[in-house]
Structure 1
Amino acid sequence: MKNVTIKDVAKAAGVSYSTVSRALSGSPEISADTRERILQVCKDMNYTANTVARAMVMKSTKLLGLILTGVNNPFMSELAYHIDRQARARGYNIILCNSSRDAEQEREQFELMIGRQVDGIILCPSGPESYESLRPYLSRLPTVFVGENLREVPESYVSVDNARGAYIGVEYLYNLGHRDILYFGRRRGSTTHQLRADGYAAACRDLGLTPQYCNNTFSFTSIKYGYQLAKQLFAQERHYSAIFAATDTNALGIMQAAEENGIRIPEDISLLGFDNIRDSGLPRINLTTIEQQKKMLASVAVDSLLDKIQNELAGYTHRILTPTLIERDSCAPYSGK
């Protein structure tokens, strides 16, 4: 089936090639009636614009690259949704890639985005090593990082204040009367997780509490691994009245293990999460959690990237957003049991 070209549209509409081009670009040099007539012809003929040729003329593809560490992660999928919405509202489309937390795959995808001539990239880095891996490419393409894995580098990034969020969580449990608060899911090799653990430790120090940890021995965080860790935890004697889970996915795994072990939440143990993923607010879950403001993260990331795209002299910016507490039903005042 022959592709319809802009010249075919011009012939069918009885106008010049340049008039069709002006209609498609929204030029004010033609009347509204002419534009509408030409666009209707395009629709009737199933004309699809040659975006590559158009990009060569306009020097912009109106495409943004988005590289995430794992689209199967509920937080990442929600963040991608909001970034896509924010980009579309500003006239851009998204090309999405998944690095699977692999630095080599991340680098290959960055090269792919350059080849696809995207106007810029938003990237959730796979780890602290991402900067050195990607540094040869960063001068070639405007880039904004999301998350705190690269917080010390001279590149633009936006993140939630993870340490502050953990501190807020411990304070909340403390004000409910809890003095034995277990931090669940501390994981090495992730700046985000380390900052959350640091915030927990700082709050314990300031409030006179003794830190307790259940470490995540797996390479990443998930409901499945949270469940497996919680099963091991609940097989031991309890010395805590509240659990602060490093992520909501950990908290959902804890809930499953608790139900199997006859442990009631919040009657027996208060449970607090971090992230406020979509499932956390479901009726049977109602998880109290620290919210990462995903819509705000997306908006700031897109705005920062477009500023770099449109202003070649723009420097780098570091934006840290304050998380908020979302109160639901998984935490209760300490009962003294």
Structure 2
Amino acid sequence: MKSVTLKDVAKAAGVSYATVSRALSGSPQIGSDTRERIIKLCDEMGYTTNYVARSMVMKKTDLIGLVVPSIDNQFMSELAYYAEMSARSHGYNIMLCNSGPDLKQEKTVVKLLLGRQVDGILIVPQSPKTYENIRAYTDQVPTVFLSENLRDQPQSYVAADNSRGTYIGTKYLYELGHRDILYFGRRHTTTHQLRAEGYMKACQELGLQQRFVNSEFSRSSIANGYEMARELFSKPIDYTAIFASTDSNALGILKAADELHIDIPGRLSLIGFDNITATGLPRIDLTTIEQPKRDMAVQAVDMLRDKIENGTQGYVHQILLPTLIKRGTCKELD
């Protein structure tokens, strides 16, 4: 199989190689009729730009690497969607990589992106160890971390105020009359540590007992939330509300509760975190804390573009405010 080249297009069009090149680059030296004829011919012949050759000349690939722990997580897929839309609007394409739960794999995909000569990297880290694990590589290319709060690390990142999110969610449950609120989640990342801290801060201020169900799973998912909830519901329910650290966990809780005929919100109120699309569906109608996913992605892309295009040095920590989304899974106590 042979790729179609500019020379092939020039021969078919009866013009010079230079004329085809100028037509595709939008040069004003080429008339509009000639340009349209050449572009149409390129499409008919299946010509595609050789971006590898072009990048060698331009010293720029117009590629941004995006690394996420798992694209099958709906929050991650929505974040990736907004990042791609933002990058594309500025002339960049996204090269998406899943890092999985393995630090070695995370390093492998970052090395792959550097080998592909991406102009910059956006990365949703999988653990607090990520920064040091890939530092030797991110020092070589403009990099912005996304979604994960790295606290005081000297690296640019955009994240939601996770502690604030669980704080306002816990206070909302308290205002509804709940005094026995169970926190259901994990603490494997800084993000989840901060969410737990927000819950603990609210409990301390409100005089509530802190109650935890800690996940041993390295990632949140509906399946993992369901498995944890089945075990939780096998014991006496001496609490009136559950605060799930992610919407995925909350959806797993809803599934387990439905199977065991535990009425939500009649018997238990439930609140999640993230506001993924599925939570707004009529039969789910989950009360949740919204991370501003679109704003996070857009600001991360803008921050990375500034590093790529202007050579901006140093780092920026951008923390965005979450929002309480009131729906139907929380009930005011009598």
Query: TM above 0.5, one fold?
Result: yes
TM-score, normalised with respect to structure 1: 0.95
| Residue aligning to 1:251 | 250
Match in the other structure for 2:55: 55
State the match for 1:123 in structure 2: 123
1:219 CA drift (Å): 2.5
Query: Does the CA contact (< 8 Å) of 2:161 and 2:322 recur in 1?
Result: yes
- 1:84-133 deviation per Cα after TM superposition (whole angstroms, max 9, x unaligned): 11111221111111110211111111111011111111111121111112
Conserved? CA contact 1:158–1:318, under 8 Å: yes
Note the C-alpha offset of 1:149.
Answer: 4.9
Q: By how many angstroms is 1:25 displaced?
A: 2.1
CA distance in 2, matches of 1:3, 1:256: 52
Question: Partner residue of 1:300?
Answer: 299
Give the Cα–Cα distance (whole angstroms) in 2 for the partners of residues 272 and 171 of structure 1. 12
1:96 aligned residue: 96
CA RMSD of aligned residues (A): 1.5
1-structure distance, mates of 2:171, 2:148: 23
Per the alignment, in what secondary structure is the counterpart of residue 225 of structure 1?
helix
1:20-68 Cα deviation digits (max 9, x unpaired): 2222222334333332222112112211111111111222111111111
Alignment-derived partner of residue 182 in structure 1: 182
In structure 2, C-alpha distance between the alignment counterparts of 1:197 and 1:322, rounded to whole Å:
17
Partner of 2:234: 235
Alignment of 1:135-146 (within 5 A): 135-146=135-146
| Residue segments in structure 2 that go unaligned for 5+ positions in a row | none
Letter in 2 for 1:243: I
After superposition, residues 264-275 of structure 1 pair within 5 angstroms as 264-275=263-274
Whether the 8 Å CA contact 1:275–1:292 is kept in 2: the answer is yes
Q: Structure 2 CA distance, aligned partners of 1:39 and 1:171?
A: 60
Query: Deviation of residue 136 (structure 1)?
Result: 1.1
Q: Deviations over 1:223-270 (max 9, x none)?
A: 112112112222222221111111111111111111222211111111
Are the aligned partners of 2:149 and 2:159 in contact in 1 as well (CA < 8 Å)?
A: no
For normalisation by structure 2, the TM-score amounts to 0.96
Tell me, in whole angstroms, the C-alpha distance in 2 between the residues paired with 1:298 and 1:246.
21
Instruction: Give 1:113's aligned residue.
Output: 113
Opposite residue 228 of structure 2, the aligned amino acid is L
> In the alignment, is the contact (CA less than 8 A) between 1:307 and 1:314 conserved in 2?
no
C-alpha separation in 2, matches of 1:207 and 1:32: 70
Amino acid at match of 1:227: Y
Instruction: Mark the runs of 5 or more structure 1 residues left unpaired by the alignment.
Output: none
Secondary structure in 2 matching 1:49 = coil
Indicate the residue corresponding to 2:24 in structure 1.
24
